[in-house]
Homo-oligomer: A and B are copies of this chain.
Amino acid sequence: MPTTSAWHGGGTVAALTIDVDAHTPVLARGRHYATHTSTMSHEQYGLDVGVPRLLALLREEEVSATFFIPGWVAEHHPRLAPTILEHGHEVAHHTYAHRSPTDMTDAEQRADFTRTLEVFARQKVPIAGYRAANWQANAATCELVAEHGLYDSSLMGHDRPYRVTTPRGQFLELPPHWSLDDWEQYAFLPDPHVGSIIQAPHTVLTMWRDEADAHARHQALFMLTLHPSLTGRPGRAEALRALITHMRDRGTRFARCVDIADAAGEDPQLTTHTITPPPTDAYR
């Protein structure tokens, strides 16, 4: 078993993160989807029902969370981010339009990055962290994060916080993972085609409960990623409540990403990673 690190203070820490993507992942597949009324209503559900339900659930369970919001969503729903702040949660940067950084030129990405910061600045929403759309960061992303003094939640090089060095400075990484994301379990749309089987909330609860217990044993950071249009549905919200209850009963403390990043920054045992790409001479 690893030794205790400062950032979790001897106990177990978990981060609930909620990506309020709204219509952006669908529109990023093609602007014509804006006229697909059923599909748009499916995304609107996240804003109208999912976010209020999750805010109520978090209040009832007395848990603080971090909401990653694309600039486009914050701009077109100007009460969203301030309301989340008022509930005591954190708001963080999730690109402007939910396009993968690996699909943008460096110039496009820089414009996308700062445009989003400007949206939040106009709304007086403080931003301390960033998460790449689809967890598809590249070197330019990492440099932007370092340059702006943010923490990041897009890389998967560890299951504890770690430091990342770039040509433009360091940043703190709070790593997510595909297996702790509701998208792979619940997302389904026929057009654009998304997902395959829709998993039962009970199956997902069992998986995440086992993962939470194992993360506690290995002193890893349990970083859960949820979407209001998915986990905002009744059965899935109640599965989340059962997960929170289970984890709290075992002594887990839930914290905002910014607080975990601050504590981790003090941890002398933190490892440091670089973003050097592997050599590719053996590949085409």
Residue A5 interfacial (CB < 8 Å): no
Given A279-B76, A282-B72, A283-B30, A37–B142 Cβ distance below 8 Å? yes
How many copies the complex holds: the figure is 4
Residue A251 interfacial (CB < 8 Å): no
Residue A157 interfacial (CB < 8 Å): yes
Residue A10 interfacial (CB < 8 Å): no
Which chain B positions have C-beta within 8 A of A273? Answer: 41, 44, 48
Given A202-B210, A214-B234, A217-B238, A39–B136 Cβ distance below 8 Å? yes
Which chain B positions have C-beta within 8 A of A197? Answer: 184-185, 196-197, 199
Residue among B41, B97, B141 making CB contact with A155, cutoff 8 Å: B41
Residues of A within 8 A of B (CB): 23, 27-28, 30-31, 34-42, 44-45, 48-49, 53, 72, 76, 96-97, 100, 102, 132, 134-139, 141-142, 154-159, 175, 177-179, 184-186, 188-191, 196-204, 206-207, 210-211, 213-215, 217-218, 220, 233-239, 271, 273, 275, 277-280, 282-284
21 chain-A/chain-B pairs, Cβ below 8 angstroms: A36-B136, A37-B155, A38-B132, A38-B136, A41-B155, A41-B156, A45-B158, A48-B158, A49-B157, A134-B191, A136-B190, A159-B233, A179-B186, A184-B188, A200-B204, A200-B206, A211-B235, A213-B238, A214-B234, A215-B234, A217-B234
12 extra A-B contacts, CB within 8 A, seeds A37-B142, A39-B136: A34-B279, A37-B155, A41-B155, A42-B157, A45-B159, A48-B158, A76-B278, A97-B282, A135-B190, A178-B189, A213-B238, A220-B234
